Amino acid sequence: MTSTQSKWLEAELKFDSRVVGKHEVVMTRGQGSVVWDESGRSYIDCVAGYGVANIGHCHPDVVKAIKDQAERLLVMPQSLPNDKRAEFLSELVGVTPAGMDRVFLCNSGTEAMEAAKKFAITATGRKRFVSMKRGFSGRSLGALAFTWEPKYREPFGEAVDNRNVDFVTYGNIEELRAAITDETAAVILEPVQGEGGVRPASPEFIQEARRLTQEKGALLILDEIQTGFCRTGKMFAAEHYGVVPDGMTLAKAMAGGVPIGAFVMTEEVADRMPAGGHGGTFGGNPLAMAAGVAAIRAMKREGMAEQAREKGAYFMEKLRAIQSPKIREVRGLGLMIGVELKEKSAPYIHALEHEEGVLTLQATPLVVRFLPPVTISREQIDTVVAAFERVLN
Ligand SMILES: Cc1[nH+]cc(COP(=O)(O)O)c(CN[C@@H](CCC(=O)O)C(=O)O)c1O
């Protein structure tokens, strides 16, 4: 530990598992698109908790909702109905695609994916799945079976059982057509691959996935854990493609920063799960529900989907205007943006943080991923782009 490290960093490095690599900084406060470290240094945050703070850090409506709920009721399991849970379910189903009106509540994206897997099996009586190369579905042993990147799976060997998973090249309709059979329970598909490199699907690919799954009696499950809640310029990315899936996994931004997850599905899918066939302790807890109601209402009231569309177009236009031989491609949808470089992105992500006060994250070794709050200002976008141009030169 260097002499300048704080007692907080020392303690976190000492006691944390450290399975996740640690930056040598201690973040203590956030507001909107800015976070501050313990020294008071500010950063424009284009990580946003890996795409969680879509409505901005500490949105006042969410803060108030948490404070109010904390004084009323924090703990209530799903077997006992609760007013805030009912309010949240109504709010959520009010924004999901028509017909997607049954919800299993949980606490993370991985949990939502685990639920999706079980509901798909009971809904179809089948046990095979189709997932995507470069896809990311979560870190549990069950969700890892759908996750492509070997480095996430290999340490666990056969404990990650993906023998019933057929992986196809993202975007390849012929491979998809060959993979979906009458043994397929579901196709798992991110409308925009996030951790896999910020890769928007073509409309043809998603629409063909919808057609083929219907034809074969399989489910189409869209993983909107990262693309959901205004991130791509619509409330859900599915809307860009005119596709209604049989299920959607949701998490990240859904409750404005409070841990939450959900598997949203059709009544037909929900009704095939045996009573008591799945569950959990914290799913649907009143605190997350209160935060989620406030977050979704803020998204609607502040027109955040349109904000993401407009600001994302502006952000990508400014990035594409950077004259640098190091940039291979700028791509994305709304404010889910990736810049693929012709060399490793890590040094530039480090320089952005330490030299420029801008936080970004990777999405495969060559891609710098920008996931700012939707509430980011154009001035802040300009600052981020100028900083990126400086570190590239
Ligand atoms: C599409 C998608 N699906 C599922 C998950 C799993 O959700 P959760 O259990 O709440 O983390 C994530 C996390 N995506 C982040 C991966 C974080 C990690 O390294 O793990 C990301 O995109 O960085 C996704 O982006």
Q: What is the pLDDT of residues 243-262, one digit of tens each?
A: 999 999 999 999 999 999 99
Q: How far apart are CA 340 and CA 251, in angstroms?
A: 26
Q: Which ligand 1 atom is nearest residue 226's CA?
A: 25
Q: Which ligand 1 atom is nearest residue 110's CA?
A: 9
- pLDDT for res 5: 64
- pLDDT for res 377: 98
The predicted model scores a pTM of 0.97
Q: How far apart are CA 281 and CA 288, in angstroms?
A: 13
* pLDDT over 70 percentage in the chain: 99
Neighbours of 22 (CB within 10 A): 11
Q: Is 225 in the pocket of ligand 1 (CB under 6 A)?
A: yes
Pocket test for ligand 1, best of 136, 151, 193, 282 (most atoms within 8 A of CB): 136
Of the listed ranges 6-15, 63-72, 110-119, the least confidently predicted one is 6-15
- Residue ID of nearest Cα to ligand 1 atom 4: 137
Q: Is 50 in the pocket of ligand 1 (CB under 6 A)?
A: yes
Q: What pLDDT digit, counting tens, does each position of 319-361 carry?
A: 999 999 999 999 999 999 999 999 999 999 999 999 999 999 9
Ligand 1 geometric centre to CA of 225 (Å): 7
Which amino acid, 231? R
Residue 1 banded pLDDT, cuts 50, 70, 90: very low
Q: How far apart are CA 93 and CA 102, in angstroms?
A: 8
ipTM score here? 0.99
- Residue ID of nearest Cα to ligand 1 atom 16: 195
Q: Is 114 in the pocket of ligand 1 (CB under 6 A)?
A: no
Q: Which ligand 1 atom is nearest residue 108's CA?
A: 10
Instruction: List, as one string, the DSSP characters of 21-86.
Output: ---S--EEEEEBTEEEETTS-EEEESSHHHHT-TT-BT-HHHHHHHHHHHTT-S---TTS--HHHH
Ligand 1 geometric centre to CA of 233 (Å): 20
- pLDDT for res 232: 98
- pLDDT for res 4: 55
Q: Is 138 in the pocket of ligand 1 (CB under 6 A)?
A: yes
Q: What pLDDT digit, counting tens, does each position of 178-219 carry?
A: 999 999 999 999 999 999 999 999 999 999 999 999 999 999
Which amino acid, 46? C
β-pairing, 128-132 vs 184-189, is parallel
Q: Which ligand 1 atom is nearest residue 140's CA?
A: 9
Residue length of the chain: 393
Q: List, edge to edge, every strand of the sheet that includes 34-37.
A: 27-31, 34-37, 42-45, 358-359
Is the pLDDT at 3 greater than 80? The verdict is no
- Residue ID of nearest Cα to ligand 1 atom 22: 195
Q: Is 108 in the pocket of ligand 1 (CB under 6 A)?
A: yes
Q: Is 194 in the pocket of ligand 1 (CB under 6 A)?
A: yes
Mean pLDDT across 214-243? 98
CA-closest candidate to residue 136, choices 208, 199, 49, 52: 199
Q: Which ligand 1 atom is nearest residue 20's CA?
A: 19
